[in-house]
Chains A and B, each alone.
Chain A
């Protein structure tokens, strides 16, 4: 009787373990899937990553020859399109 209970207990434990494994597999698959999506955005043969794209829209104050000014929102780069291959920085 005792051993039966133990076997039932063991069976119950293994069912729980199996459920956990299944859950972990599903979570891992979801993580890998999301990771691969991120990878598409991050990986490119160019200079930059998704993190390099400004999170907030940048603005440029355009100063005309007569001194008048206007604000221009910098177009948000499309990271899934062809990226720049180089970066211009002070050197």
Chain B
């Protein structure tokens, strides 16, 4: 029987689904998965002063003992930066704050934020971050802080998926980031789960339905976390909200972390460079929506349309 749970966490809507044969056990593991999301937010949010990430961000130019989870997450973020030649950059907090994203998106929506301030770009400072996952240590260079918001959400989705998977087919969704395994109840074996691809300018309108088979989906959009004067996707080369010809990018990939990173990178790069970069990423398909609402897909996209 399909059990579900929905709640708000990490300033987004979380939905969990589990087709567990044991209903009581299903409810219990869904509760544990909800706890996982709340724990990840408490430990890795840059907006919480007492989070482990905020504590790390206050200590620079020395090696800091951190939890294995934080070390793993930082390592994933640095690997993503390397793989995208620095387009994905977890060190752009100064530019994010200068653009107005110095408080949670819920607060910005409620009270607004300050006018954008210019800030000088400092690309490639991620190269100076030293992380040792074996010893669980991280060393940030002077003047560098980390933002793990997007990748942290993908990581939590993957973690929750791994937690729920032994108990039956299921799906985890955190806003645009989704991980699914097994088959959606009512669909034939091997059909996976259906995911509606949302229109970036008309929320609630489907652009297409995607079929996710033991994989992940993530969408990055400049229309979602937006305020007067900016949005949250910073181009590290300009230190400003990305000036892109795309409204949104949806990526299907093996994990939510990979899909989340790939969607963000392609969106910042723009349509032409984004498609070229995506073509080099193994196991990834994508739908890109440009300013005129035209849709572009990678070569294997037909195989994942429902």
Contact = CB atoms under 8 A, between A and B. Distances in A.
Contacts, number: 139
Contact of B193 (A53, A58, A62, A85): A85
Interface in A72-91: 72, 74-75, 77, 82-91
Contacts of B171: 85-86
A24 B111 CA distance: 51
B203 A89 contact: yes
A21 to B, nearest CB: 40
A85 B197 contact: no
Interface string B174-210: 1111100000111100000111111010011111111
B225 A90 contact: yes
B196 A75 contact: no
Interface in B142-176: 153, 171, 173-176
Interface string A32-69: 00000000000000111101111000111111110000
Contacts of A59: 295
A86 B218 CA distance: 12
Given A74-B208, A85-B184, A62 B173 contact: no
Interface stretch (B20-28, B51-59, B79-87, B296-304): B296-304
A77 B195 CA distance: 11
Nearest to B198: A89
A75 B205 contact: no
B217 interface: yes
B299 A64 contact: yes
B219 A65 contact: no
Interface string B204-237: 1111111000000111111111000000000000
Given A54-B207, A74-B207, A88-B178, A60 B196 contact: no
A77 B224 contact: no
B17 interface: yes
B225 A63 contact: no
A89 to B, nearest CB: 4
9 contacts: A51-B205, A61-B294, A62-B301, A63-B298, A74-B208, A82-B185, A86-B195, A88-B196, A90-B224
Which 9 pairs of residues, A with B, have the shortest CB-CB distance?
A: A90-B221, A91-B175, A90-B224, A89-B198, A84-B194, A82-B186, A86-B173, A84-B196, A60-B297
Given A91-B153, A91-B219, 5 more contacts: A60-B301, A61-B296, A63-B279, A85-B15, A86-B178
